[in-house]
Amino acid sequence: MSLSNRHLLGLSGVPKEDLQLILDTARTFREVLERPIKKVPTLQGKTVVNLFYEDSTRTRISFELAQKRLSADTINFSTSTSSVKKGETFKDTVRNIEAMKVDMIVVRHKSAGVPQYLTKISKANIINAGDGLHEHPTQGLLDMYSINERLGRLEGLKVCIVGDVAHSRVALSNIYGLKTMGAQVSVCGPSTMIPFGIEALGIKVYHKIEEALKENDVLNVIRIQLERDAGRRIPSLREYHNYFGVTTERIEKFNKDIVILHPGPINRGVELSSEVADGPYQVILDQVTNGVAVRMAVLYLLGTMHS
């Protein structure tokens, strides 16, 4: 069994069989993470570069750990300590790194389309670790894995993405992936944060958090992205929290069976109360653990196609 594409650029257009293969393979690696020795020799001899042009905690560490767990050689690149600061172009940087014989490139960049561009200038397998407002496919996959782990299925589930959907690559990857797997996807937020015309994709739109809570099995709560100008789309963070914040009081009034996801980093007291962020309804740290297994699966499936 192998994937139908040698790159993972997004979840848009990825066939159900490929998504299922990644999720099934991740389950195997999730078991490896519970062993006393959490390492397999699967990618021994392969070299992977983590090319991060934008800040990250979870994704960068998770990819690096996944590569080490698979016994690959790992190189970490960050702009702040590189010759990008001396004016070297993106293309020259990539070509120089590739000349050192790397097999796979994991890339995060503030511009949408950079992973696609990399496939034109590099022979390596390319994995998108988040490109601008476009997609964050491994986050979408780990969210799907975590929902399935908690509820035992994706098909037929009602999943609502809450918050700054317009600025969210996580939202888009969730929408594409979950719809392919047969879930019913909706979004909730102020109209300034919901992309115009999203209903045409078969997505229900809520403007009241109480209704979203009442009618869904899962809320995937997205961060208000202040670094991407989200602050201009709402009167204040306090007002956002008053109308859309997910609180224990709201959960207990409207849906005690709800499962809460958040990709991190969390704005505590804005999209989620601290009580919810640390409480019994959320699976936030499970998402982080599962992220390592999902990234191991993607690296393994792409890395073994390359040889």
User: By the criterion CB under 6 A, which residues form the site for ligand CP?
Assistant: 56-59, 130, 136, 139, 263-265
Shorter beta-carbon distance to ligand CP: residue 7 or 169:
169
The residue whose two tokens read 């993405």 is: 161
Shorter beta-carbon distance to ligand CP: residue 57 or 242:
57
Q: How far is the CB of 15 from ligand CP (least distance, A)?
A: 24
d(CA 113, CA 72): 26
Q: How far is the CB of 56 from ligand CP (least distance, A)?
A: 3
Q: How far is the CB of 231 from ligand CP (least distance, A)?
A: 18
- HSE (side-chain half, CA atoms, 13 Å) at 142: 32
Shorter beta-carbon distance to ligand CP: residue 105 or 250:
105
Q: How far is the CB of 57 from ligand CP (least distance, A)?
A: 4
Q: How far is the CB of 58 from ligand CP (least distance, A)?
A: 4
Shorter beta-carbon distance to ligand CP: residue 97 or 171:
171
Q: How far is the CB of 198 from ligand CP (least distance, A)?
A: 22
Shorter beta-carbon distance to ligand CP: residue 18 or 131:
131
Q: From start to end of 94-203, where are the E strands?
A: 104-109, 125-131, 158-162, 184-188
Residue 171 C-alpha from the chain's centroid: 9
**Cβ count near 50 (within 10 Å):** 23
Shorter beta-carbon distance to ligand CP: residue 184 or 222:
222
Tell me the one-letter amino acid at 209: I
Shorter beta-carbon distance to ligand CP: residue 94 or 106:
106
d(CA 26, CA 89): 36
Q: How far is the CB of 143 from ligand CP (least distance, A)?
A: 10
Dump the DSSP string for 203-257. Answer: -EEES-HHHHHHH-SEEEEPP--GGGTGGGGSS-HHHHHHHH-B-HHHHHHH-TT
Spell out the residues 6+ positions from residue 17 whose beta carbon is closer than 8 angstroms to its own: 4
Shorter beta-carbon distance to ligand CP: residue 180 or 225:
225
CB-CB contact of 300 with 67 (8 Å): no
Using the Cα atoms of residue 268, residue 273, residue 274 and residue 277 in order, give the sign of their dihedral: negative
Residue 30 C-alpha from the chain's centroid: 17
d(CA 158, CA 216): 5
Q: How far is the CB of 97 from ligand CP (least distance, A)?
A: 21
CB-CB contact of 188 with 209 (8 Å): yes
